[in-house]
Amino acid sequence: MSKNTFTKGVKRQKLWDLPDNEVTPETVFKERRSIVKALGLGALGASIPGYVQAGLFDLFGEETPKNVFQSSELAFQRNSNFQLSQALTPEDKVTRHNNFYEFGTSKQDPFENAQSFQTEPWSLTIEGLVDKPIKLDYDALYKRFALEERTYRLRCVEAWSMVIPWVGFSLASLLKEAGVKSSATHVAFETLFDPDQMPGQKSRLMGGGIHYPYVEGLTIAEAMNPLSFMAVGLYGKTLPPQNGAPIRLVVPWKYGFKSIKSIVKIRVMDKQPPTSWNQLAPHEYGFYANVNPQVDHPRWSQASERSIGEGGLFSAKRIPTEMFNGYGDYVADLYKNLDLRKFY
Ligand SMILES: Nc1nc2c(c(=O)[nH]1)N[C@H]1C(S)=C(S)[C@@H](COP(=O)(O)O)O[C@H]1N2
Ligand SMILES: [Mo]
């Protein structure tokens, strides 16, 4: 376990529980939200960096609760179990160096081409082998589940990485609410298909050859693992379009392409679903795509990675890549009977 992963001394089974002293009752959040609204502080809140928004509580003469953050759109608790000793990637790097082929294949294309992307109204459905299908509209994405902040490492298969503070909720909480049937083995995810808004879906060249809509998948055990996260925000604010607004998956122990953006459908299944990068180049991108420094990509080494934002202006610091991106203590059991060279 490296020093760059979880806070030391956290008990494994407790990792995903918010420590008791960080829990603020739901009603307190709601009251504060309406006060912020009534005072017209919404716009003010939105213009303040996420990390000082807790200071808004001072206006109400209350002691600022630790680890509670509030803006006009997001109210969340910081889960200190997921704070890393590694520095956060600067926000302008997180939002300007992206992979989102629906908006073009170069790293600055999503920032440049996604700004007018409409996310409201939105509809996310959870269907398939569930007891109770769920449909979440735009507002429900931010309100149906208690939001928390988790800082995760993101390792792209292209051998670069970032450290990003996400806001969201666990995928398991969503699946549990829908009630997964015992016959379920996999979960499939699908990105919005809207060529009028997503120019990469119109042109095979601009879209990098991917057959749209972009699809991804997890085994049911991976999906229920407490690390699998549905993100609706980053750096204390709602997701920018280029990062997968309004809701995207984040699976921190797998290569970034598993973390599918702008999701409209989640389908619980009894077989392995097709996945976009695997369909495009099966010998290069597997279904599992676990970060693994010992299994190289056919065209480059996966032993190390460029840490975006660390190092000079034109270079990035190279750091060793960790097995399961440093999350092995929490996920290695899922693969104990799997040959990770064969099932890459
Ligand atoms: N729909 C969709 N989701 C996607 C992608 C994409 O092109 N389309 N790119 C993936 C890849 S390769 C990576 S590395 C991450 C990048 O997320 P970020 O831009 O928020 O850092 O998004 C993933 N999710
Ligand atoms: Mo990636």
CB 178 within 8 A of CB 133: yes
Give the Å distances, CA to CA, from 124 to 133, 236, 268: 11, 22, 14
Ligand nearest to the CA of 260: 1
Our answer on whether the CB atom of 111 is closer than 6 Å to any ligand 1 atom is: no
Q: What is the model's pTM? A: 0.85
Q: Which residues are annotated as a binding site for Mo-molybdopterin?
A: 98, 101-102, 156, 191, 243, 248, 259-261
At 43 the pLDDT is 40
At 68 the pLDDT is 87
Q: Any idea what the Cα angle at residue 231 is, between residues 144 and 254, rounded to 5°?
A: 135
6-335 sits in which CATH class?
alpha beta
Q: Measured in angstroms, how far is the CA atom of residue 102 from the centroid of ligand 1?
A: 10
Q: Measured in angstroms, how far is the CA atom of residue 191 from the centroid of ligand 1?
A: 11
At 44 the pLDDT is 39
Question: What are the tens digits of pLDDT across the range 100-136?
Answer: 999 999 999 999 999 999 999 999 999 999 999 999 9
Q: Give the mean pLDDT of the chain.
A: 86
- pLDDT bin (cut points 50, 70, 90) of residue 24 is very low
> Is the pLDDT reported for residue 35 higher than 70?
no
Distance CA 24, CA 69 (A): 11
Distant-in-sequence, close-in-space partners of 73: CB < 8 Å, separation ≥ 6 = 46, 142, 233, 237, 238
Q: Measured in angstroms, how far is the CA atom of residue 225 from the centroid of ligand 2?
A: 21
At 265 the pLDDT is 99
At 133 the pLDDT is 98
- pLDDT bin (cut points 50, 70, 90) of residue 14 is very low
Our answer on whether the CB atom of 276 is closer than 6 Å to any ligand 1 atom is: no
Instruction: Report residue 222 as tokens.
Output: 């991976």
Our answer on whether the CB atom of 215 is closer than 6 Å to any ligand 1 atom is: no
Question: What are the tens digits of pLDDT across the range 297-329?
Answer: 999 999 999 999 998 767 789 999 999 999 999
Q: Which residues lie at CB < 5 A from ion ligand 2?
A: 99, 156-157, 256-257
> Is the pLDDT reported for residue 4 higher than 80?
no
Our answer on whether the CB atom of 70 is closer than 6 Å to any ligand 1 atom is: no
Q: Which whole number is the average pLDDT over 199-218?
A: 97
At 326 the pLDDT is 97
Which atom of ligand 1 is the closest one to the Cα of 94?
A: 21
Q: Which whole number is the average pLDDT over 271-278?
A: 98
